[in-house]
Amino acid sequence: MIWEVFRQEEPGDYHKHCGNVHAPDRDMAKMFAQIQHGRRMKTHSLWVVPQDEVGEVDDQDTAFGGTTDKAYRWATTYNRVDASFAKEVADSEAEQRAAEKKREASSQ
């Protein structure tokens, strides 16, 4: 049986997928995950999940975000106003700009 492993580095972080292990049951999966994924990388917590229990949809199955132009839902579209007056608004816009760049890079 294959178990997908998710590692959280610090308390409060997100658990991020870091690989998988073969194990006959949950306890063994937790033990193998510790050895394979929790030993060298900083680890606060690990999750193990049976691979069969993970549902997946990928970019071959669907067009994430749709196929129409959704520029209207991004802060980066509204350039007649300037976000720099409030740090939290500017931060949000910067995160959106970074996400936009990644999306554009992957569509090319």
Partner 1 sequence: MDLDTVMAEAAPRRFSPKDDMPEEYRKAATRMIQFHANSEVMGGYLEKPFIRQAPSLDRKLAFSAKVQDEIGHAQLLYRAAESLGVKSRDQMLDELAEGEGKFLNCFHYPMDSWYEVPMIAFFVDGAAMRRQATLKRASWEPYAHAMDKVCFEEGFHVKHGEDILRELMTSSKANQERTQEAFDEWWPRILQFFGPTNDKSTHHDFSAKVGLKTMTNDELRQAFLNAYIPKAEKYGLEIPDDPGLIYHEDEDRYEVVEEDLDWDQFFTVTKNASEGSERQILSRADRQEAVDWVREAMDGWERMGSTTTPQAAD
The footprint of partner 1 (CB under 8 A) covers 11-14, 70, 72-75, 77-78, 80-81, 83, 85-93, 95-96, 99
User: Does residue 21 contact residue 33 with C-beta atoms inside 8 Å?
Assistant: yes
Residue number, 30 or 93, with CB nearest to partner 1: 93
Residue 26 CB, shortest distance to partner 1, in Å, is 14
Residue 24 CB, shortest distance to partner 1, in Å, is 20
Residue 3 CB, shortest distance to partner 1, in Å, is 17
Specify the residue for token string 């007649």: 80
Helices then strands, each counted (H, E), the chain: 2, 3
Residue 49 CB, shortest distance to partner 1, in Å, is 13
Residue number, 11 or 24, with CB nearest to partner 1: 11
Strand partners, 16: 7
Distance CA 66, CA 27 (A): 41
Burial environment of residue 84 by CB neighbours within 10 A (0 to 12, 13 to 18, 19 or more): exposed
Residue number, 25 or 82, with CB nearest to partner 1: 82
